[in-house]
Structure 1
Amino acid sequence: MLELHLKKPRELELRESGGQPFIKDDEVKIKSIYGGICGSDLSVFKGKLNHATYPVRPGHELLGTIIEKGEDVTYDIGTRVVIAPNTFCGECEYCLQGKLNICLNKQSIGINADGGFAEEFVISSKYILQVPDTVTDKKAILIEPLSVIVHALKKAQLNRTSSVAIMGCGTEGMLAAALANHLGANVTVTDINPLKLDLVRKLGDIKALRPEEISGETFDVVIEAAGVKETFEQGVQLIKPGGAMILIGMAREANFPVSHVVRSEVTIYGSIIYNFPFDFSESLEYLSNSEFYIDPIVSKIVPLADYQQAYEMALSGNYGKVVLDFKEGNRT
């Protein structure tokens, strides 16, 4: 079985691994179809994620088919599924409140536990969700990252009178733009990369600007998706009085304008990942709707054998989502 193996930062190889372990009663063995390369995968690759451990098999945006199952698993062999890559204990104070996304004992596959960039992998069945036939593979691989946005946008009430600014045109920024546009909001997106701006314009009636081109405008909701100091500091100044800012990017630090926040009575929300399976199920509903247009977001689908090229594309910042293809016929 072929798998990607990250020995330490920037030392990534495609190798033959040993056989998969014997599956437990609640586990399934998944034959991989697609794996999306995420920004956090790139941070792990570069050694810039503090909670990453090495060596590790990367990959957490995963779509595959069940090929083997334990005795307690109710899914059928052959079921196409996506993976929730963040574990939850079900016992800590946050899990007991239904806040599984901030479980005290959370692990994240592909970061501090082995992920799924392999031809096959094993995972507990409580972390999988069936994908209906109405959702194509190309759309299904976006369920996990879209769930981040579904979860985040619940913190603000968007409607057809809402104005929304999204700072950053990475995958999450583009998905936020697509969903806010689908919900009828008036959407403006900023990025410093003109290629990303061209890409996001393909998603619909969305204004795409360089950060310095926003002048004299304020917004009901600002979504910070770039994860850098400058976009937070600009974004917080763009919130209308009484409006809200949702942080999904992870800038290490930024200057916080306390008096502006207080005087304008704005609300700032942090939002991390999602609650499974609820946010995943909502993502599936959106992706099953033909009017929800996200086709341009997946820019490249690359055979596993060309993983180095795929990572280079993703690292360049000039593409939307780059996806690894694990299907038979792409094996060297």
Structure 2
Amino acid sequence: MLGLIINEPGNLELKKFPTSPSLKGDEVKVKLIYGGICGSDIGVFKGKFAHASYPIRPGHELLGTIIEVGSDAKYGVGTKIVVQPNSYCGECDLCLKGKTNICRHKQSLGVNTDGGFAEEFVISSKYVLPIPDEMPDERAVLIEPFAVIVHAFRKVTITKDTSVAVIGCGTEGMLAIALATYLGADITAIDISQEKLDKVKSFGKIKTAHPDEVGDGNFDVVIEAAGAKQSVEQAMHIAGSGGSVVLIGITPEANFPAVRVVRNELTVYGSIIYNFPDDFETTLEYLKQDDFYVEPIISEIIPFKEYERAYEAAVSGKYGKIVLNFKEDGNQ
């Protein structure tokens, strides 16, 4: 079978892998349909993650169909599924508290264990979620990245007219805008890229601004999705008194205005990935709704054999989600 491999940072190639051996226990073999290229895929490709392993097969935003099952698999052949790509032990103190997203023994597909950017891959059925056959593939492939936002939004209350700032209008930022719009929030999207700001206007009545156009203390909730030092620092300043800041993006460090947090009783949340299956199931319910608007998020779907073009587009940062198409006929 064909699949992608990152031999070392910057060195990505398509190669032939041996066919997977016989399945064990609860394992399933999945024929991939779509694979979304995530920011962490780009981070591994660029060598930005100290905890990444090489060589590594990338890919964790995975939609496919089960084509073979082990004796104890939870689901049958023909089931369309998405993948939860972060393992958890279920036994450490954090897992026992229900915090499987920060399991002490977590491993992540495409980062420190082989991912799924191949025609076929094998995974424990513990980490897959069945989805309705009638759900369009273009929506289903967004379940994993959207679950990140669903998890983050659980930390705050967003209802009609809640003033929300979303800093960073990449894929996660656009998904945050999509959910906040659905909930009726009053949204301001902030980004340094005018192209991205123009793109998010398609979500409806969205205010847009460059970072230097936003005043301090204006918002009930601030979602930081850029993962940059400057945007984290800005998030702390534009949250209003009694407001909340949710940090989704990852940056090594930022200056923390402690006096402002204290005097204004700001609440700052860190949020990483999701809890499975709860956040995935909630995400699925949102995406089942015809009026839940996510169409602008995917910029292009590219045949996986054109992986160089796909990664070039994803690395450029000029687009929304870039998706690799693993269907045999190459058609959407």
Distance 1:44 1:74 in 2: 31
Deviations for 1:28-62, whole angstroms, at most 9, x for unmatched residues? 00000000000000000000011111000000000
Q: Which residue of 1 aligns with 2:299?
A: 299
Q: Which residue of 2 aligns with 1:200?
A: 200
Partner AA of 2:106 in structure 1: K
Contact 1:305 1:330 in 2 (8 A): no
Q: Which residue of 1 aligns with 2:124?
A: 124
Q: Which residue of 2 aligns with 1:308?
A: 308
The equivalences for 1:52-131 within 5 A come to 52-131=52-131
- Runs (4+) of structure 1 moved beyond 3 Å? none
Distance 2:181 2:253 in 1: 30
**1:137 correspondence with 2:143:** no
Distance 1:183 1:50 in 2: 37
Q: More displaced, 245-254 or 204-213?
A: 204-213
Distance 1:54 1:133 in 2: 35
Quote how far apart the aligned CAs of 1:281 are.
Answer: 0.3
Deviations for 1:52-110, whole angstroms, at most 9, x for unmatched residues? 11000000000000000011113121110000000000000011111100100000010
**1:19 correspondence with 2:29:** no
**Which ranges in structure 2 are unaligned for 5 or more consecutive residues?**
none
Q: Which residue of 2 aligns with 1:219?
A: 219
**1:277 correspondence with 2:280:** no
Residue 146 to residue 200, structure 1, CA distance change in 2 (3 Å): same
Distance 1:185 1:273 in 2: 23
Deviations for 1:180-210, whole angstroms, at most 9, x for unmatched residues? 1100110111111111111111122211211
Contact 2:217 2:237 in 1 (8 A): no
Q: Secondary structure at the match of 1:51?
A: coil
Q: Which residue of 1 aligns with 2:35?
A: 35
Contact 1:134 1:288 in 2 (8 A): no
Contact 1:158 1:185 in 2 (8 A): yes
Partner AA of 1:108 in structure 2: S
Distance 2:270 2:106 in 1: 18
Contact 2:232 2:254 in 1 (8 A): yes
Contact 2:217 2:241 in 1 (8 A): no
Distance 1:193 1:315 in 2: 15
Distance 1:330 1:133 in 2: 19
Contact 2:216 2:239 in 1 (8 A): no
Distance 2:216 2:153 in 1: 25
What TM-score comes out, normalization by structure 2 length?
A: 0.98
What TM-score comes out, normalization by structure 1 length?
A: 0.98
Deviations for 1:222-270, whole angstroms, at most 9, x for unmatched residues? 0110000100111110111111000000111111000110000100000
Contact 1:159 1:184 in 2 (8 A): yes
Contact 2:74 2:126 in 1 (8 A): no
Quote how far apart the aligned CAs of 1:217 are.
Answer: 5.7
